[in-house]
Amino acid sequence: MEKFIIKGGTPLRGEVRISGAKNAAVAIIPAAILAEDKCILENVPSISDVDVALEILSSMGAQIRRLSKSKIEVDTSRIKDGTVPYELARSTRGSSYFLGALLGRFKKASVPLPGGCDLGSRPIDQHIKCFEALGAKTDIKHGIVDLSADRLIGTQIYFDKVTVGGTINALLACAKAEGLTIIENAAKEPHIVDLANFLNSMGADIMGAGTDVIKVKGVSQLHGTEYSVIPDQIEAGTFMVAAAATCGDITLKNVIPKHLEPITAKLRKIGVYVEIEDDTDNVRVVGRPHYEGTDIKTSPHPGFPTDMQPQMTTLLAMSNGTSMVTESIFDTRFKYVDELRRMGADITVDSRVAVVRGVDHLTGAPVKASDLRAGAALIIAGLAAQGTTEIEDIHHIERGYENMEIKLRALGADIVKRYYPDDEKMRKAL
């Protein structure tokens, strides 16, 4: 058991390099199954969700070779079985992408229902709808999804609602299907485009990724490739908010500014200085002592990302006036609010709406991370708070942020990771 101990009040200053995108990497790694060949992946983040995805591949017979900290060779030519181990699948939401990849290659798949952060209901009904439209039969028993098909035939797929996971699984399943597949009401997130680019680099024929209509002409075979994962827009956004919350001055390197536009727009609106350096992949963020509240509603890309809602809400909790934050994606994304209240925040939640009344400052307190982005929000709160904050259950944070405490210390933060015993578990063991 580990926790972060943060002494707040120090402005963050300096440069930070943003790692590869978690949400892209956990889709691209299963996609390598379709190559039946060696793929070299660069700019891969060193996070636990990636480790689990690679472990799943390895358990099925793939050969994994780490060429450097962020460069990995994946050889999926020896995979013979389309079954994902139960315990591994239950630890990450990204395990659902093995359904589309294994179905696309073997015309069958057996994958336990995925785990990941507890953010409320996240059904896979739209994924199943896609697989069945392509010709697969579905059977869900004892928490395991079994897919089988004699052949996959291109078709027209319309998602009833925008679904990132469903769009990813559709691309994976139909890349080698016979004929043309048209995916309507598709998700448009940057990692959808990145997955499509990766598949195209392997020989797929995908057009329209990044729009709400994607056309895929199935090909009979894909091949190995060398590909670099895009920078993580959510990690970048988290550091942008951290700079603002601590009145810091941070330059983010290795970012795609266009991917940050929804975050940049809201930060500028409340009074944060954001400078996008011409002809570079750098963004500079300079914080100020006071900000004005604003209203935020999360929505699919290019709207404000749900994965940045907890971090932004934390900043609004220290801004002037009253703000309203509406969460339109997940049912229970406000679990972290109780922890912010421990630190002095004035936030009232009613279903999917939070009313945030700004306070002068937050005060350090012992808190727990309930999920990945909630943990990031608590780090930001701890960095800005007066006194010391201790954050438990940081394994959630390490699912999606690479060396978070190391990067923050390089910017001047007073943050350390400490091991601590879980007394309750120790008593049970005795």
**Band of pLDDT at residue 121, cut at 50, 70 and 90:** very low
DSSP codes of every residue in 140-180: EETTEEEEE-S--B--EEE-SS--HHHHHHHHHHHTTSBSE
Radius of gyration for the alpha carbons in the chain, expressed in angstroms and rounded:
22
For 156-174, the pLDDT digits (tens) are 999 999 999 999 999 999 9
The answer to whether 300 is a known ligand-binding residue is no
Give the catalytic positions in this structure.
Answer: 117
The answer to whether 341 is a known ligand-binding residue is no
Q: Is the pLDDT of residue 255 over 70?
A: yes
Cβ-Cβ contacts under 8 Å for 13 (sequence gap 6 or more): 248, 249, 250, 411, 412
The answer to whether 144 is a known ligand-binding residue is no
Provide the pLDDT for residue 425: 52
The answer to whether 22 is a known ligand-binding residue is yes
The answer to whether 124 is a known ligand-binding residue is yes
Question: Which has more pLDDT, 426 or 360?
Answer: 360
Cβ-Cβ contacts under 8 Å for 77 (sequence gap 6 or more): 36, 37, 38
Give the dihedral sign, CA 102/259/300/241.
positive
Provide the pLDDT for residue 93: 67
Give the burial class of 319: count Cβ atoms within 10 A of its Cβ; 0-12 exposed, 13-18 middle, 19 or more buried. Answer: buried
Alpha carbons 100 and 171: distance in angstroms, whole number: 8
- Least Cα distance to 114 among 90, 130, 137 occurs for 90
For 381-400, the pLDDT digits (tens) are 999 999 999 999 999 999 99
- What backbone torsions phi and psi does residue 391 show, to the nearest 5 degrees? -110, 120
Alpha carbons 61 and 74: distance in angstroms, whole number: 11
The answer to whether 307 is a known ligand-binding residue is yes
The answer to whether 93 is a known ligand-binding residue is yes
Q: Is the pLDDT of residue 311 over 80?
A: yes
- Least Cα distance to 397 among 15, 44, 3, 119 occurs for 3
Alpha carbons 41 and 63: distance in angstroms, whole number: 13
Q: CA angle at residue 337 from 356 to 121, to 5 degrees?
A: 115
- Least Cα distance to 244 among 182, 215, 286 occurs for 286
Provide the pLDDT for residue 124: 87
User: Percent of the chain scored above 90 by pLDDT?
Assistant: 87
For each of the domains in the chain, give its residue range(s) and CATH number, in order of start.
2-19+231-429 (3.65.10.10), 22-228 (3.65.10.10)
For 61-120, the pLDDT digits (tens) are 999 999 999 999 999 999 987 889 888 887 676 789 999 999 999 999 999 887 544 444
The reported pTM is 0.94
Question: Which has more pLDDT, 141 or 424?
Answer: 141
Provide the pLDDT for residue 428: 52
Using an 8 Å Cβ cutoff, are 329 and 353 in contact? no
The answer to whether 123 is a known ligand-binding residue is yes
Q: What DSSP element (H or E) covers 396?
A: helix 395-398
CA 371 to chain centre: 11
Alpha carbons 156 and 142: distance in angstroms, whole number: 31
